[in-house]
Amino acid sequence: MFAVLLCCACSGEAEPREFPPVEALPARAELPDPLVTFFDAEPITSADDWRDVRRPELRALFEHYVYGVAPAAPTISVEVETPDVEVLPGVVHRGVAITLSKDAPRIHLALFLPAGVAKPPVLLALNPCGNQSLLESEAVRFTDAFRALGCGAERGSRAERWPIAEIAARGYALATFHESDVDPDDPADERSLDGVHPHFDSGEGFRSAWGRLAAWAWGLSRAVDYLVSDDSVDGARIAVAGHSRRGKTALLAAALDERIAIAIPHQSGTGGASVARGNTGESVAVITQLFPNWFDDVYATFADQEDRLPIDQHLLIAMVAPRPVLVTNGAEDLRADPPASLRAVEAAAEVYELLGVAEPIVRGADGRPTLDGPLSWHERTGGHSLEPRDWMTFIDFAERR
Ligand code: GCU
């Protein structure tokens, strides 16, 4: 039986709690109340209770039931691999290698800085096909991570979807790497020797410890370790964005790492910003069959019984509060179930209110959230894709904050 030390609401002392298995949990169609604790059914009535009791409890619940537990932050070392060079008009590229520990793999972070802008805010995002796919320039290091090789990894193949020059023109830096630097995304590969697992796993085997989403989110935090130490960007204004599996990762990273100022999960769906209860897109059964190694082993036990989950994804959004969150969608992206992400956003709002945000969701004439509130949901036309218009929406939102 898994146990965790949690702070008790009444005494403030840590005490061991056991996580009930799925069959011992009640089936409840309604979303778990953000402001009532799971273990003691205690009401949460103050910001201190949220910070000291409910948020740590939620972290432990998500770690146990969904994503697994990432290891403590290692001491990283950083080396500039590619010195600053202008790769597009107004865009300076710097390649930085982040070494995670002795002999461990390195994160190859590509930074695209707006020329002449002092301490720009940063959009941090995992990319799907390697840094070199984002623009034609030979200056960008070619990734040798194997997942990227089957992905149209040639130079510039994704340039149309990553409008680096426009992002820089709006005064933002882009920091990006491919997740295979941390943990290659291979469903057939239970324990990849190419990623961080041989270096950071406990003896239990990685899926009973941490799944790939947890590993990638941990990797984003290592990029944050570097960004907050680099004076050429504003480490207090880091927004983490991501599409689909990388959107799930972005939300998880922001939930766990309070240095991340804004979370922008784009079309993140199940395991991301869409609640599992009542989800008409991807079920827990489907996602854990297709991608068992994204999660820990416990999440799959909720297949066809999502209503027994002691958490749901609105609580992952709530863990980011009071920091801004923008959940973006494509109207035709039914697999990610945009309405389920709207329900998640709406159910997280009361946590923002508890933390002193008077109007977390600002609604337009159609009743839908606008980009004006710190807790926002946006739906554009079209399907499952990351497009230049999405990046512009991310920046429209970040600029308002
Ligand atoms: C699959 C998966 C989704 C995921 C998507 C992606 O479709 O089922 O959950 O978001 O891949 O990452 O592109």
pLDDT in the model for residue 1: 42
Considering the domain architecture, whether residues 205 and 114 belong to the same structural domain is answered as yes
Residue 274 lies in a domain: no
Name the band, by pLDDT with cuts 50, 70 and 90, for residue 52. very high
Q: Please check the confidence at residue 199 and state whether its pLDDT lies above 90.
A: no
Residue 168 lies in a domain: yes
> In a mutational test of the pocket of ligand 1, which residue from 335, 337, 341, 390 has the highest number of ligand atoms less than 8 Å from its CB?
335
The DSSP code for 380 is: E
Atom number, ligand 1, closest to the C-alpha of residue 268 = 10
pTM across the whole model: 0.96
Compute, in angstroms, the gap from residue 251 CA to the centroid of ligand 1. 15
pLDDT in the model for residue 357: 98
Considering the domain architecture, whether residues 195 and 166 belong to the same structural domain is answered as yes
Contact of 270 with 279, CB cutoff 8 Å: yes
pLDDT tens for residues 182-191?
Answer: 998 876 665 5
Q: Residue range 197-208: average pLDDT?
A: 67
Those residues with Cβ within 8 angstroms of residue 48's Cβ, 6 or more apart along the chain or in another chain: none
What residue's CA is closest to ligand 1, atom 2? 287
pLDDT in the model for residue 196: 85
What residue's CA is closest to ligand 1, atom 13? 244
Name the residues annotated as catalytic.
244, 384
Compute, in angstroms, the gap from residue 307 CA to the centroid of ligand 1. 22
Compute, in angstroms, the gap from residue 65 CA to the centroid of ligand 1. 20
Contact of 324 with 374, CB cutoff 8 Å: yes
Give CA–CA dist 227/103, Å, rounded.
22
- Where among 177, 210, 236 does a domain terminate? 236
Atom number, ligand 1, closest to the C-alpha of residue 246 = 12
pLDDT in the model for residue 189: 62
Compute, in angstroms, the gap from residue 244 CA to the centroid of ligand 1. 6
What residue's CA is closest to ligand 1, atom 8? 287
Phi then psi for residue 93, to 5 deg, are -105, 140
Q: Residue range 171-176: average pLDDT?
A: 98
Considering the domain architecture, whether residues 133 and 205 belong to the same structural domain is answered as yes
Residue 384 lies in a domain: no
- Where among 33, 52, 67 does a domain terminate? 67
- The CA-atom distances, in angstroms, between 247 and each of 242, 277, 326 are 4, 19, 11
Domain range for 32 is 3-67
Q: Please check the confidence at residue 201 and state whether its pLDDT lies above 70.
A: yes
> In a mutational test of the pocket of ligand 1, which residue from 282, 286, 341 has the highest number of ligand atoms less than 8 Å from its CB?
282
pLDDT tens for residues 324-382?
Answer: 999 999 999 999 999 999 999 999 999 999 999 999 999 999 999 999 999 999 999 99
- Nearest C-alpha neighbor of 344 from the set 320, 372, 380: 320
Q: Please check the confidence at residue 11 and state whether its pLDDT lies above 60.
A: no
In this structure, the residues whose C-beta lies within 6 A of any atom of ligand 1 are 244-245, 269-270, 282, 287, 290, 335
Strand pairing category for 77-88 and 122-127: unpaired
- Where among 51, 67, 83 does a domain terminate? 67
Compute, in angstroms, the gap from residue 304 CA to the centroid of ligand 1. 19
Residue 86 lies in a domain: yes
Considering the domain architecture, whether residues 79 and 220 belong to the same structural domain is answered as yes
Considering the domain architecture, whether residues 7 and 139 belong to the same structural domain is answered as no
Considering the domain architecture, whether residues 101 and 126 belong to the same structural domain is answered as yes
Task: Say which residue the tokens 């500039």 belong to.
Answer: 80
Residue 303 lies in a domain: no
Q: Please check the confidence at residue 210 and state whether its pLDDT lies above 90.
A: no
Q: What's the number of domains the chain is made of?
A: 2
